[in-house]
Amino acid sequence: MKELSQEEWQKQIQNDKDAVLLDVRTEEEVEEGYIPKSKNIDIYKGQGFIDEVEKLDKSKHYYIYCRSGKRSSQACTLLDQMDFAETYNLIGGFSEWEGEKKTD
C-alpha cells in the first residue's frame, strides 16, 4: 500500500492504464457523492466485501478511498494480503476530496 495525496492520486490515475477506483464506503455515503468511475464495495459487509473483492482482477492497480482514509487503509491492507499487485490509499478520503464529484 502507498499513501497518496490528492495531487499524487489524480496524477497517477491519469497515467495508469491499469487503474481501478474502489470506494469502500456504505451505500448511504455513496448517495451523498462519489468520485466518477469508481466501483463501490462496502468494507462493512465483512465476508461479503471479501467475496466481492475476490472477483476483481488482482493484476490491476487499486486506488481505494473511503470518507476519511481509515477504512480505505484497512481495505488496502486486506487486498495486499490477498496478493493484489498494487494498492493506493487516498489520504484524507472523500471528505477532503477537491476533484470531480458525482451524485446520482
66 catalytically annotated: yes
Q: Which of 4, 66, 78, 90 is catalytic?
A: 66
Which residues fall within 8 angstroms of residue 89, CB to CB, at 6 or more apart?
A: 1, 2, 3, 4, 64, 65, 69, 72, 73, 76
Rounded-to-10 torsion of CA 67, 75, 17, 58:
-160
Q: State the number of CA atoms in the 13 A half-sphere of 68 facing the CB.
A: 2
Q: Strand 61-65 relative to strand 19-23: parallel, antiparallel, unpaired?
A: parallel
The set of catalytic residues is 66
